[in-house]
């Protein structure tokens, strides 16, 4: 907290050198919701995801969908993907270097299939 109260006295470089820069940047970090969608092609073993679980989004190569985005848990392979109807803008942002993530927001059964709804958001600084 000292870093925040002394920001006017110190310049950003001195804060970085003191390793307090994270304290200064954390309040500037925000999540910008892009869309709410679902996980398509969901693997059967991915059905125990709790509401609120953060998921990684990774660009994947595909001959069928040039904007393919895989959905995975930290340290694991993709277990589904963002549907084609919702993936172009997030894929373009990821290609431009933006950090995108997803969060589980809904779980249920639809048309006799497991449904996992996600909120896709950009982490902005």
In this prediction, residue 88 carries a pLDDT of 97
Taking the chain (125 residues) in runs of 10, the rounded mean pLDDT of each run is: 50 54 62 95 78 96 95 90 97 96 93 91 88
Name the helix (H) or strand (E) containing 92. Answer: helix 88-95
In this prediction, residue 27 carries a pLDDT of 59
Domain ranges of the chain: 28-124
In this prediction, residue 105 carries a pLDDT of 96
Alpha-carbon gap, residue 116 to 37, rounded angstroms: 9
Statement: 28-124 belongs to CATH 3.30.70.2330: yes
């Amino acid at each position: 907290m000292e870093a925040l109260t002394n920001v006017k006295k110190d310049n950003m470089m001195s804060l970085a050198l003191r390793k307090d820069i994270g304290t200064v940047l954390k309040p500037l970090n925000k999540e910008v919701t892009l869309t709410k969608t679902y996980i398509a092609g969901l693997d059967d073993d991915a059905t125990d995801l709790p509401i609120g679980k953060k998921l990684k989004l990774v660009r994947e190569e595909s001959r069928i969908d040039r904007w393919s985005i895989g959905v995975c848990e930290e340290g694991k392979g993709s277990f589904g993907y963002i549907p084609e109807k919702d993936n172009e803008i997030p894929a373009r942002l990821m290609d431009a270097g933006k950090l995108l993530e997803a969060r589980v927001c809904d779980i249920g059964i639809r048309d006799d299939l497991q449904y996992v709804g996600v909120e896709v958001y950009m982490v902005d600084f």
